[in-house]
């Protein structure tokens, strides 16, 4: 089972027919380490983290940021850059009347988010996995259709079965994906939110998976096994009025 980012990228693209690049995210305690990455780009404008992520996934760029490059506390808080988790941030005041009817609801949303603790990191970088520039990333991420995500999950469950229970925080869904994966070091699936779709270019039919490399490798190993059983993505349509026994009989001996 290889943990090589370049090979993982090739395997994910082949098995899942991805439309965007699998990419990595890495946190840095010292911004100088981030700035030393070969061919690193630094933003000239203020962005959301969704935009930075999209530049890695959609444009194939290697991009490094500090808290000053991000538009507000919400983006900074999820990855623990700067001192974003102030009392004002925790109150959810800016989201009150925008996403939530009242301030207690907005505060409950803030408390529900998976966030890297403040004060540990000074910078962050994203890059396509195939570039190998993050050597290695803290987590790998991929955008894919719901069907591809289910196949990826089937791969994770091929050996050492585990039920996955993921949650949906709503807006700020990056806390469900890269926030959760950075904090819990587990595969973390999200339904991208309004901000990711408006600012990060995420398509209507895309979901986001984030996980450490070893989990990506495990899913690939499982998908390879499923493929040998004739179970591959994209899933071929059988027909909604056909006798199902012939199709099921290929996989299940007793049908």
The tens digit of pLDDT for each residue in 199-247 reads: 999 999 999 999 999 999 999 999 999 999 999 999 999 999 999 998 9
* 3-class secondary-structure state, position 53: helix
Quote the domain boundaries for residue 224: 5-234
* 3-class secondary-structure state, position 202: coil
The count of domains in the chain is 1
* pLDDT tops 90 at residue 253: no
Residues 6 or more apart whose Cβ sits within 8 Å of residue 86: 73
What pTM was estimated for this model as a whole? 0.95
* 3-class secondary-structure state, position 126: strand
| 57 belongs to a structural domain | yes
Residues 6 or more apart whose Cβ sits within 8 Å of residue 54: 199, 200, 201, 202
* 3-class secondary-structure state, position 215: helix
| 144 belongs to a structural domain | yes
| 247 belongs to a structural domain | no
Nearest to residue 120, comparing CAs of 132, 138, 136?
138
Of the listed ranges 120-124, 188-192, 199-203, 242-246, the least confidently predicted one is 242-246
CA gap 61, 53 in Å, rounded: 9
The tens digit of pLDDT for each residue in 68-115 reads: 999 999 999 999 999 999 999 999 999 999 999 999 999 999 999 999
| 254 belongs to a structural domain | no
Residue tagged 């894919």 (tokens): 144
| 47 belongs to a structural domain | yes
State both tokens at 20. 């965007």
Provide the edge-to-edge strand list for the sheet that holds 139-144. Answer: 63-65, 123-128, 23-28, 139-144, 207-211, 188-190
State the burial class of residue 254 (Cβ atoms within 10 Å of its Cβ: 0-12, 13-18, 19+).
Answer: exposed
| Furthest C-alpha separation in the chain | 63
| 41 belongs to a structural domain | yes
User: Contact 220/3 with Cβ under 8 angstroms?
Assistant: no
The tens digit of pLDDT for each residue in 5-62 reads: 999 999 999 999 999 999 999 999 999 999 999 999 999 999 999 999 999 999 999 9
| 193 belongs to a structural domain | yes
- What pLDDT, on the 0 to 100 scale, is given for residue 254? 76
- Band of residue 255 on the pLDDT scale cut at 50, 70, 90: confident
| 243 belongs to a structural domain | no
Q: Which CA distances in Å does 105 have to 94, 110, 169?
A: 12, 9, 12
């Amino acid at each position: 089972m290889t943990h090589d980012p370049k090979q993982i990228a090739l395997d994910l693209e082949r098995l899942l027919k991805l439309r965007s690049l699998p990419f990595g995210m890495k946190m840095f305690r010292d911004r100088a380490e981030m700035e030393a990455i070969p061919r690193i780009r630094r933003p000239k404008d203020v962005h959301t983290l969704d935009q930075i992520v999209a530049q890695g996934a959609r444009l194939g760029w290697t991009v490094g940021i500090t808290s000053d490059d991000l538009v507000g506390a919400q983006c900074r808080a999820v990855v623990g850059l700067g001192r974003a988790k102030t009392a004002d941030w925790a109150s959810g005041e800016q989201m009150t009347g925008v996403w939530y009817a009242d301030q207690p609801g907005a505060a409950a949303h803030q408390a529900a988010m998976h966030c890297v603790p403040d004060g540990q990191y000074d910078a962050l970088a994203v890059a396509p996995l195939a570039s190998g520039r993050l050597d290695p990333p803290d987590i790998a991420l991929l955008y894919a259709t719901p069907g591809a995500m289910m196949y990826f999950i089937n791969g994770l469950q091929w050996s050492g079965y585990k039920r996955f229970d993921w949650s949906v925080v709503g807006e700020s869904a990056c806390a469900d994906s890269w926030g959760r994966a950075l904090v819990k070091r587990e595969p973390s699936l999200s339904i991208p939110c309004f901000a990711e779709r408006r600012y990060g270019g995420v398509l209507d039919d895309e979901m986001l998976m984030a996980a450490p490399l070893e989990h990506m490798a495990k899913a690939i190993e499982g998908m390879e096994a499923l493929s040998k059983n004739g179970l591959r993505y994209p899933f071929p349509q059988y027909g909604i009025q056909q006798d199902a026994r012939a199709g099921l009989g290929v996989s299940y001996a007793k049908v």
